[in-house]
Chain A
């Protein structure tokens, strides 16, 4: 099979498993279900604090009849827990294989694939413009960008019907756009304009559109989870077929609201898909420093619901898992917990330069950019041409430019708006 270079990134020193294989620049062996036949001999290197080592590993490729056991030379990236910045957590476990993602790729037609690509590109472009407008002082206040995590929102929401509900957090631009909001009204809201999706009353953290069943961004960590349970209850009550998709970050897991809500949702078999976007950092605190069980999907177990960890940088993997969970919820079998392992390319908010993590860690994750990954996949499978993808990029850029223009030209809310909407019945 010739030479094949792979990088194995170890989750942490104490782990017995190499958890994810990342193949650098070699498409002969596609990243697929890959198991390690032998334990990596990583411990001595880590004990010495050595960050890089070359080792010989035996790799098993169960899906390839030609390559049952192949030994290849791999570059192993090892980062010890003791190292500052804890960059060694760059890749997390993907213990499930990706047959669902593979199947999604096969069953989706070209239009569907391109729609995913467009939606992710739109969010990325929106966030880039948002950062630019923030730097120019057009957008103020707290502003949390979603760049890097697009595959989670887009994959999950693509698996829903229009009438399904979405509950979000303060890092919500992506969810709102993926649910179908016009970039114009979202950008206008960020600008604080009267034409904004929340009339300029909400800002970046409080977008809402009942018609799209985008049920709002909530800026208290964990605050949206009980609402999702309530929406689920309303669905059961009215005997409707919808489900609720509730997004929250890894930072929400230690909150009481998370545990109370999972208990209630499971107890009452509420049609809710809980999606934890594990981007490793609650602001600047590493997951491992905040949560005793860092394999977050395992929190499903005590609450008697299915829990899976998916590759949050792979839109099809997210899509596949949410499709399964939503079907289960619709069948009346209750909630699920999905942990989507992902990474935010920017700091926690616009004011955060992310000094708590290494630039190299960031670069490793940028290599796994979900948009680039889908692009590679589409091109590799010859599902669209490079031209088609470039056209989408250009179209999306124009849409976002138009959104900025719309926001800039929109009026500020009138001063009389200040006291309005405090009560429905004044």
Chain B
């Protein structure tokens, strides 16, 4: 298998789907001539032309709304928001239209729209450019929330999202674009709603998604040296949410930590914790813990930013306390 970056994997997925299906097109700020603010769409304009790789003005609300309209008109739009922070301007279209249209019209309309957006902190970009907002979308029924961690998943999940008929928020972590991983050379899809057990263990379950998967794996390696055998689960998507894989693991280990980069309060991890205790309370040997971003806007200072974000060290500390 080839070793390629997360960015290249996404680019391949887009290219293959553009080739496969005439209805698929990309639009967003800087996706064409600039090649994408994070270079994910690099080179696609040259292959597919302006009709299918369409630069837009800075109008997030209307880019997303036009994506919804185009999807209702029979196309398969992929809208890129430059970052999820700007996506807040499009919240009305995402929450009130994209997520509602299928239901409020009695199942007679559908919106096969993929909204891709980078998110996450760690680059000293300050309070307005460092957010992880998956919980905002998870809260709203009617829209899928997908957060790949590995290059192989980035490609396989994105292709699955483009091929299905529900609206999707596809959140890519800005720190992962340069991460390399093995990606199959033949055509493949990663189905939505199946968590991935990346590491088997019997003492403790570490549940995470997106960049925190790497923090969890690093923590598990370190814990191994202390004789603690941690299982690591990558959820891959929050909606659909594969609780079966999580519960099977927790019933086995009796202990769980949920690690996520959203804010601690009201984060997606809080939902996972609640569901674990609802379904597996009798199997728990300790309260389910969370490691998340501190409840503060992101500071610019590097030391403070590191202190605000989840890290392997924080996971290890909680795990040691738990055991």
Residues of A participating in the B interface, judged by any CB pair closer than 8 Å: 165, 167, 196-202, 206, 208-210, 215-216, 218, 220, 223, 225-235, 237-238, 256-257, 260-261, 263-264, 267, 420-425
Residues in chain A near residue B101, CB distance under 8 A: 216
Give Cα distance in the complex from A233 to B76, angstroms: 12
Contact B62–A264 (Cβ < 8 Å): yes
Residues in chain A near residue B77, CB distance under 8 A: 230
Nearest-CB distance from A168 to chain B (Å)? 12
A220-B96, A256-B61, A257-B62 as given contacts; A210 in contact with B73, CB under 8 Å: no
Give Cα distance in the complex from A246 to B67, angstroms: 16
- Interface of A, secondary structure class, is mixed
Q: What residue of chain B has the Cβ atom nearest to residue A215's Cβ? A: B72
Give Cα distance in the complex from A25 to B1, angstroms: 86
A202-B106, A226-B61, A424-B164 as given contacts; A264 in contact with B66, CB under 8 Å: yes
Residues in chain A near residue B71, CB distance under 8 A: 230
Nearest-CB distance from A304 to chain B (Å)? 14
Nearest-CB distance from B198 to chain A (Å)? 26
Nearest-CB distance from B184 to chain A (Å)? 24
A206-B105, A209-B108 as given contacts; A226 in contact with B57, CB under 8 Å: no
Contact A230–B102 (Cβ < 8 Å): no
Contact A237–B103 (Cβ < 8 Å): no
Residues in chain A near residue B196, CB distance under 8 A: none
**B79-117 interface bits toward A, Cβ cutoff 8 Å, 1 = contact, 0 = none:** 000000000000011001100011111111110100000
Give Cα distance in the complex from A231 to B73, angstroms: 5
Q: What residue of chain B has the Cβ atom nearest to residue A256's Cβ? A: B61
Residues in chain B near residue A230, CB distance under 8 A: 65-73, 77
Contact B69–A229 (Cβ < 8 Å): yes
Give Cα distance in the complex from A225 to B59, angstroms: 13
Contact B108–A210 (Cβ < 8 Å): yes
Q: A223-B92, A234-B73 are in contact. List 17 more A-B contacts (CB 8 A).
A: A165-B73, A199-B107, A199-B108, A201-B104, A201-B107, A206-B105, A215-B109, A216-B101, A223-B93, A226-B61, A227-B69, A227-B97, A229-B66, A257-B92, A261-B65, A263-B62, A264-B59
Contact B109–A210 (Cβ < 8 Å): yes
Give Cα distance in the complex from A246 to B73, angstroms: 14
Contact B106–A226 (Cβ < 8 Å): no
The answer to whether B287 has its CB under 8 Å from any CB of chain A is: no
Contact B68–A226 (Cβ < 8 Å): yes
| Interface bracket on B | 35 or more
Q: Mind listing 13 A-B residue pairs with CB under 8 Å?
A: A197-B106, A216-B105, A216-B109, A225-B65, A227-B65, A227-B97, A229-B69, A231-B73, A234-B70, A238-B74, A238-B75, A264-B66, A422-B142
A201-B104, A223-B92, A223-B96 as given contacts; A422 in contact with B65, CB under 8 Å: no
Give Cα distance in the complex from A263 to B74, angstroms: 23
Give Cα distance in the complex from A225 to B63, angstroms: 11
Residues in chain A near residue B92, CB distance under 8 A: 220, 223, 257
A261-B62, A424-B164, A425-B164 as given contacts; A267 in contact with B57, CB under 8 Å: yes
Give Cα distance in the complex from A420 to B62, angstroms: 29
The answer to whether B165 has its CB under 8 Å from any CB of chain A is: yes
Give Cα distance in the complex from A231 to B109, angstroms: 13
Q: What residue of chain A has the Cβ atom nearest to residue B240's Cβ? A: A423
Q: What residue of chain A has the Cβ atom nearest to residue B112's Cβ? A: A424
Residues in chain A near residue B3, CB distance under 8 A: none
Query: Which listed residue, B65, B69, B106, touches A200 by the CB 8 Å rule?
Result: B106
Residues in chain B near residue A423, CB distance under 8 A: 102, 142, 144, 166
Residues in chain A near residue B102, CB distance under 8 A: 421-424
Q: What residue of chain B has the Cβ atom nearest to residue A268's Cβ? A: B54
Residues in chain A near residue B62, CB distance under 8 A: 225-226, 229, 257, 260-261, 263-264
Q: Which residues of chain B from 26 to 64 have any CB-CB distance to chain A below 8 Å in the complex? A: 51, 56-57, 59, 61-62, 64
Query: Which listed residue, A198, A199, A210, A228, touches B69 by the CB 8 Å rule?
Result: A228
Residues in chain B near residue A257, CB distance under 8 A: 61-62, 65, 92
Residues in chain A near residue B59, CB distance under 8 A: 260, 263-264
Residues in chain A near residue B110, CB distance under 8 A: 424
The answer to whether B141 has its CB under 8 Å from any CB of chain A is: yes
Q: What residue of chain B has the Cβ atom nearest to residue A194's Cβ? A: B106
The answer to whether B170 has its CB under 8 Å from any CB of chain A is: no
Give Cα distance in the complex from A208 to B100, angstroms: 13
Residues in chain A near residue B97, CB distance under 8 A: 218, 220, 223, 227
Contact B75–A237 (Cβ < 8 Å): yes
Residues in chain A near residue B25, CB distance under 8 A: 237
Contact A422–B103 (Cβ < 8 Å): yes
Nearest-CB distance from A208 to chain B (Å)? 4
Contact A233–B165 (Cβ < 8 Å): no
Residues in chain A near residue B65, CB distance under 8 A: 223, 225-227, 229-230, 257, 261
Nearest-CB distance from B144 to chain A (Å)? 8
Nearest-CB distance from A240 to chain B (Å)? 9
Query: Which listed residue, A167, A208, A235, touches B108 by the CB 8 Å rule?
Result: A208
Residues in chain A near residue B141, CB distance under 8 A: 422
**B12-25 interface bits toward A, Cβ cutoff 8 Å, 1 = contact, 0 = none:** 00000000000001
Give Cα distance in the complex from A58 to B70, angstroms: 54
Q: What residue of chain B has the Cβ atom nearest to residue A272's Cβ? A: B69
A234-B70, A237-B51, A263-B57 as given contacts; A226 in contact with B64, CB under 8 Å: yes
Q: Which residues of chain B from 162 to 178 have any CB-CB distance to chain A below 8 Å in the complex? A: 164-166
Give Cα distance in the complex from A425 to B109, angstroms: 13
Q: Which of B106, B107, B166 gathers most chain A CB within 10 Å?
A: B106
Give Cα distance in the complex from A233 to B64, angstroms: 13
**B211-229 interface bits toward A, Cβ cutoff 8 Å, 1 = contact, 0 = none:** 0000000000000000000
Nearest-CB distance from B163 to chain A (Å)? 10
Query: Which listed residue, A202, A235, A263, A425, touches B73 by the CB 8 Å rule?
Result: A235
Contact B70–A233 (Cβ < 8 Å): yes
Nearest-CB distance from A389 to chain B (Å)? 36
Give Cα distance in the complex from A228 to B67, angstroms: 10
Nearest-CB distance from B168 to chain A (Å)? 11
Query: Which listed residue, B69, B96, B108, B112, touches A233 by the CB 8 Å rule?
Result: B69
Query: Which listed residue, B61, B69, B106, touches A231 by the CB 8 Å rule?
Result: B69
Residues in chain A near residue B70, CB distance under 8 A: 230-231, 233-234, 237
Residues in chain B near residue A420, CB distance under 8 A: 107
Give Cα distance in the complex from A256 to B63, angstroms: 12
Q: What residue of chain A has the Cβ atom nearest to residue B144's Cβ? A: A423
A218-B97, A260-B61, A263-B59 as given contacts; A421 in contact with B72, CB under 8 Å: no
Nearest-CB distance from A97 to chain B (Å)? 35
